[in-house]
Amino acid sequence: MSKPNSKQESGGEQRRLQMVDIARLAGVSVSTVSRALNGSELVNAETRQRVAELARSLNYSINFGARNLRLQENKTVAVVVPYDAASRQHISDPFFLSIVGSIADALTDRGYDMLLSRVDAERLDLASHWFDSGKAIGIILIGQWRHHDQLNEMAARKLPLVVWGGEMPQQLYCSVGGDNVLGGTLATRHLLQQGRRRIAFVGDANLPEVWLRRQGYAQALREAGVAVDPALESPAPFEPGVAGDVLREFCARVRDFDAVVCCSDVLALLTIQALRAVGRSVPGDVAVVGYDDMPLAAYCDPPLTTVHQPVAEAGAELVEALLGQMRGDRAEPRTMPVYLKLRESAPMAGG
């Protein structure tokens, strides 16, 4: 094993400090300096010239290695899983594990490598680092989180980017995801057909996918002539530790609902636990529907009725959409079909 070269390390640190100085003097970001020094046409000619002049004045030597990575046969795609800094939802979440595994299989089948990374969900734009540095030829981002605007900004830069999520109004980037509105509609219609009328909704509608699922939930209620009651909504996050506390409080405070649409299978399991803690049975007192149809859903007590998302197929769709962009194809959003998987937590009437 070779020893670290202290001269190389000090040189790299000096280069980073020089880039910070150039960015400050030029009045631009460090990433813009990096792109300008690498000759990117994403930076206008005037800014490239100003950055080059400042670099020369600071005796900055351009590192052509990173730029040449993209000129060589780079076969690496960055797969980025954002996290909420407050809750630090772990990558071991069943949904994350399933979709990352699906993407890894799809990349391997096509001869590509995967670079797995995390960024703060408040700074989704940091995902662009892997492309800007030349370490990846494109980016697959898992989830839209709360910053749809940052995703649009990356797309406006023509960055090769595909996002797992739902199609949103004024969207510039390419998304691949399940039909969230249909999923929310199917779950709610099923509960209505059972004769349930006080149907709660569990999920943070500030997140785009959850917002779309809530649209389907509200649509199904209106179709059945049932008013949407905000008092029956719990904005529980996906992170289990935080969600557990939110749902225990909700189930202790609100006692008149007879069904729940949950925006993930984990949220559904936490809801069942919270209901049992206040003496309510599932599905006797309250029918529960989850979302995703993770493998664990079939082994719950009771086994979970849930909206099946095409996670196994999602990896291939995400990878094909990204490779299509790199071929120059138009980056159109792709919506994949979903369906309801019936089990004992909300069985058919009389089942």
Quick: pLDDT tens for 226-250.
999 999 999 998 888 889 999 999 9
Distance, in Å, from the CA atom of 186 to the CA atom of 12, rounded to the nearest integer, reads: 55
pLDDT at 223 over 80: yes
Distance, in Å, from the CA atom of 167 to the CA atom of 177, rounded to the nearest integer, reads: 8
Contact indicator for 340, 190 with CB cutoff of 8 Å: yes
The model carries a pTM of: 0.76
Average pLDDT, rounded, for the chain: 86
Domain boundaries, the chain: 9-62, 72-177+311-337, 180-309
Question: In three state form, how does the secondary structure of 30-47 look?
Answer: HHHHHHHHCCCCCCCHHH
Q: In angstroms, what is the C-alpha Rg of the chain?
A: 24
Pick the CATH number of 180-309 from 3.40.1050.10, 3.30.420.40, 3.40.50.2300, 3.30.470.10: 3.40.50.2300
Decide which of 76 and 330 is more confident.
76
Q: How confident is the model at residue 70 (pLDDT cuts 50, 70, 90)?
A: very low
CATH superfamily of 72-177+311-337: Response regulator (3.40.50.2300)
pLDDT for 4-62, tens place per residue?
444 444 445 555 657 777 888 888 888 888 787 776 777 887 888 788 777 777 666 55
Residue 3 has a pLDDT of 43
* Stated length of the chain: 351
Collapsed DSSP state (helix, strand, coil) of residue 115? strand
Pick the CATH number of 9-62 from 1.10.150.120, 1.10.260.40, 3.20.20.70, 3.30.70.940: 1.10.260.40
Residue 9 has a pLDDT of 43
pLDDT at 350 over 70: no
CB 152: neighbour CB atoms within 10 A?
15
Segment 193-217 mean pLDDT: 95
Q: Is residue 193 packed enough to be buried (19+ CB in 10 Å), middle (13-18) or exposed (0-12)?
A: exposed
CA 324 to chain centre: 20
On the question of a common fold for 72-177+311-337 and 180-309, the answer reads yes
